[in-house]
Structure 1
Amino acid sequence: WRVLYQVLVESARTTAMLFTILIAAMLFSGFVNFTSMPGDLKDWILAQGFGPLMVVGAMMLIYVLLGTIMEELSMVLLTIPVFFPIVTGLGFDPVWFGVLIVLVVQIGLISPPVGMNLFVLNALLKDVRLGDIFRGVWLFVLMLVLALVAVLEFQPLALWLPGFMR
């Protein structure tokens, strides 16, 4: 019973943390929509003469950088209210943007120094040092970055399969 109690307490803590993040993200999203910041930001970006793909590419770079220092759920919940209206305002498909987000989150999950999956792997493989895992993951990061660039440049790669569901 003691173990069950500890599991329930830990589950309640985790759930409370996730709901706190969700509530904060909802408040932030409401604030962002109230101030019409995404529309103003989109207009400013287009006035600067940046191309739509360059804007989305810059967003992906921001996501990759944030993914190396931030937990993924928090990163996505805090940035989607700002980035999603800009992307749809630029005329891009929301499903395509969602696939890009999934790719950058995967890059964040295996990129040092936060790379949550690397720490899980280290916990499972007790005889392998964390530094060895960090060194071994770079090829996978490179492959995910190449996949991100391919999907960024060729939207049909991300929209082919979901196209059958419409």
Structure 2
Amino acid sequence: MDPITLSILIIVFLFALLAIGLPIGFAMAVSGFLGSTFLIDLDAALSLLGQTAYETTITYNLSVVPLFILMGYFASNSGLSEALFNSCNTWLGYRRGGLALATIGGCGAFAAVCGSSLATAATMTQVALPEMKKFNYDDKLSTGSIAAGGTIGILIPPSVILVLYGILTESNIGDLFLAGFIPGILTIIFFMGTISILTRIYPNMGPRGAKTTIL
């Protein structure tokens, strides 16, 4: 079979696997294995399957991923996440929608520690959501600010996603971190601006929190 035709069929097969709900990693592995089998032979495909999996897992750069996750675990269990939220709450909590603003700020600060969007969202849910419920924040604003704030972990260094992208594309990870910093800061600003506009239009969504003192 013509290699171009075979490649097109493999791509169609890949999308078919994705359409039936197969996880992306498995769908790509199966499609790649079948493509290698038809283009070369079965022995070569089996060899590539084992070699690629082994070489990928022993990559030195991947060691930063569990270390970032471990650092996030330490930060969460040491009370750093609460301290970050409380610090942002001190400056922003008394404003209308201030707790949601503090949540976005806390997410940005915590993302700079762990580099994981899921870990950031999960941690800030435990810290910020009870406070927003206490002050009768709208559920849409409460959960939306946490979910949106969690995505900041993709951009703010040290982002695990940027590390994996750099490894897969053989890009300079330091340059990727520098490239993600400014968009991450802008995302925080835009999220805060959106919350401020919403709470100004709909004051009941985010009542003012209690004033706190720095000292």
With the length of structure 2 as denominator, give the TM-score of the two structures. 0.44
Structure 2 distance, partners of 1:151, 1:129, is 33
Unaligned runs of 5+ in 1: 7-27, 29-44, 160-166
> Larger Cα Rg: Structure 1 or Structure 2?
2
2:99/2:131 contact within 8 Å kept:
no
2:108/2:152 contact within 8 Å kept:
yes
For residue 110 of structure 1, what is the amino acid of its counterpart?
A: L
Task: Please list, as runs of the form range in 1=range in 2, the aligned pairs for 1:68-147 lying within 5 A after superposition.
Answer: 68-70=112-114, 71-113=116-158, 115-126=159-170, 128-147=171-190
1:103/1:144 contact within 8 Å kept:
no
Unaligned runs of 5+ in 2: 1-45, 54-76, 78-88, 203-215
Name the Cα RMSD after superposition: 3.3
Q: 1:80 to 1:123 in 2, by over 3 A?
A: same
Q: 1:121 to 1:85 in 2, by over 3 A?
A: same
How far 1:109 moved relative to its partner? 1.7
For residue 83 of structure 1, what is the amino acid of its counterpart?
A: A
Structure 2 distance, partners of 1:137, 1:74, is 18
Structure 1 distance, partners of 2:178, 2:120, is 25
Amino-acid identity (%):
14
Structure 1 distance, partners of 2:189, 2:126, is 26
Structure 2 distance, partners of 1:136, 1:76, is 23
1:67/1:104 contact within 8 Å kept:
no
Superposed CA deviations along residues 63-116 of structure 1, whole A, max 9, x for unmatched, are: 211111123333333332342122123232211222222222121121112x12
Aligned residues: 115
Structure 2 distance, partners of 1:135, 1:75, is 20
Q: 1:143 to 1:51 in 2, by over 3 A?
A: closer
With the length of structure 1 as denominator, give the TM-score of the two structures. 0.55
Structure 2 distance, partners of 1:82, 1:100, is 13
SS at match of 1:117: helix
Structure 2 distance, partners of 1:80, 1:138, is 24
Structure 1 residue ranges (4+ consecutive) displaced by more than 6 angstroms after TM superposition = 1-4
For residue 125 of structure 2, what is the amino acid of its counterpart?
A: I
How far 1:136 moved relative to its partner? 1.7
Superposed CA deviations along residues 11-54 of structure 1, whole A, max 9, x for unmatched, are: xxxxxxxxxxxxxxxxx9xxxxxxxxxxxxxxxx8xxx934533
Question: Which of residues 192, 195, 198 in structure 2 aligns to 1:152?
Answer: 195
